[in-house]
C-alpha cells in the first residue's frame, strides 16, 4: 500500500475516533474527553490532507 493511501485511511480512522470521543464526552459531560476528540478529529483531517498531497506529488 502506498504511503499516501495509508495516510488517508489512517486520517479517516482518526476522524471517526475523534467524532466518537467528542460525542461520548458530550453525553458523559466530560470536557476533557470532548476536547481530546476534537483534537483527534483535527489530527485526522490534517493527516488525510497530507495523504492527498503525497498522492499528487507521486504523480
pLDDT band at 56 (very low <50, low <70, confident <90, very high): confident
Residue 59, pLDDT above cutoff 80? no
What is the predicted pLDDT for the residue at 28?
A: 97
pLDDT band at 4 (very low <50, low <70, confident <90, very high): confident
Residue 55, pLDDT above cutoff 90? no
In the chain, domain spans: 3-58
Residue 54, pLDDT above cutoff 90? no
| DSSP string for 8-58 | HHHHHHHHHHHHHHHHHHHHTT-HHHHHHHHHHHHHHHHHHHHHHHHHHHH
Amino acid at each position: 500500500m502506498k504511503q499516501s493511501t495509508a495516510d488517508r485511511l489512517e486520517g479517516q480512522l482518526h476522524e471517526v475516533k475523534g467524532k466518537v470521543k467528542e460525542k461520548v464526552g458530550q453525553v458523559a459531560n466530560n470536557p476533557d474527553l470532548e476536547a481530546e476528540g476534537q483534537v483527534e478529529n483535527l489530527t485526522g483531517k490534517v493527516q488525510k490532507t497530507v495523504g492527498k498531497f503525497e498522492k499528487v506529488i507521486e504523480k
